[in-house]
Amino acid sequence: MQPAPAVDTAPLFQTINVSKHFGVFKALTNVSFHVDNGEFVSIVGPNGAGKTTLVNVVTGLLRPTEGEVRFMGHDIAGIGPVELARRGMSRAFQLVNIFPALTVRETLAVAVASRLRRVANPFRSLRRDAVLQADVERVAEVLGLRARLDTVASTLSQGEKKLLDIASAFALNPTVILLDEPTSGVSSDDKHGIMKTLLEAAKRAGVKAIILVEHDMDLVAEYSSRIVALQAGRVLADRPPAEFFADPEIIAAIVGKRVGRLAREA
């Protein structure tokens, strides 16, 4: 009888004892966390906890002073977001990074052309390239922007601008996507709609895992499979939502004593 083939249990993504120093200031100290296939991992923490530095290290904008950053088994420390996206991990930013004078179609074309390495003239490619055109329309469809393809980006609602930014990240066909406060600046009524749209899009696009950087604890409680909490550049907790929100000391350290209804009921 032949032995069963070995199963690769390595995380899709992980940081191993990552530290980042800016001179004498230690922004991160021995930060380790991982993301497995099928997980939705939220990173939370008060202002100054090190979330932005960690995200910039994770996405290759910064090289860690110490430690390892690994994606699908490979060292990605400092490779930069463009090369990281080509390897299968993309980032949607907190601030909407659209080109205001371009249409939705043209904005998505830039991302698709980058993935297809047709960056010399993506707009010429859009007009002449049926493959690129089809991909633009596919991404717009899954993010609910199909009817807005020929709309100038600057005229979109704030919620639609957020979806366009997320759609640009999805256009890179990521295996893992990192969402940096994807609903910031959006009304409370629209937040859950955006989250549900992006989760459905991730499922349809074959995204294997999501990393969310978020301050809205109701969203964190509702959608996370695991929560990594930072405080003063260190990992304070790495727990599933029920355990996270059941610990009053963690809640007090990370979000204060007031949490939303969903967080209390997690």
Domain ranges of the chain: 11-88+175-182+207-266, 96-172
Whole-number Å distance between alpha carbons of 111 and 119: 9
Whole-number Å distance between alpha carbons of 125 and 23: 45
Whole-number Å distance between alpha carbons of 214 and 217: 8
Asked if 89 and 70 touch (Cβ cutoff 8 Å), the reply is no
> Any residues with CB less than 8 A from the CB of 155 and at least 6 apart, and which?
none
Whole-number Å distance between alpha carbons of 18 and 15: 6
Residue type, 24: V
Asked if 153 and 161 touch (Cβ cutoff 8 Å), the reply is yes
Length of the chain: 266
Residue type, 99: F
Would you state the pLDDT for residue 263? 46
> Any residues with CB less than 8 A from the CB of 259 and at least 6 apart, and which?
217, 245, 251
Written as six digits, the tokens of 81 are 């977001």
Asked if 36 and 209 touch (Cβ cutoff 8 Å), the reply is yes
Whole-number Å distance between alpha carbons of 227 and 16: 17
The CATH class, in words, for 11-88+175-182+207-266 is alpha beta
CA angle, residues 143, 169, 47, in degrees to nearest 5 = 105
Name the burial class of residue 7, with classes exposed (0-12), middle (13-18) and buried (19+) by CB atoms within 10 angstroms of its CB.
Answer: exposed
**pLDDT in 10s for each residue of the chain, 266 residues:** 444 444 457 889 999 999 999 999 999 999 999 999 999 999 999 989 999 999 999 988 899 999 999 999 899 998 988 888 888 998 886 555 567 788 999 888 888 887 776 655 655 656 667 788 888 999 999 888 999 999 999 899 888 888 898 898 888 889 999 998 888 878 877 888 889 988 998 998 899 999 999 989 999 999 999 999 999 999 999 999 999 999 999 999 887 654 444 444 44
Query: Where do the DSSP E strands lie in 109-250?
Result: 176-180, 209-213, 226-231, 234-239
| pTM for the whole structure | 0.84
Q: For residue 77, which of 54, 109, 102, 49 has the smallest C-alpha distance?
A: 54
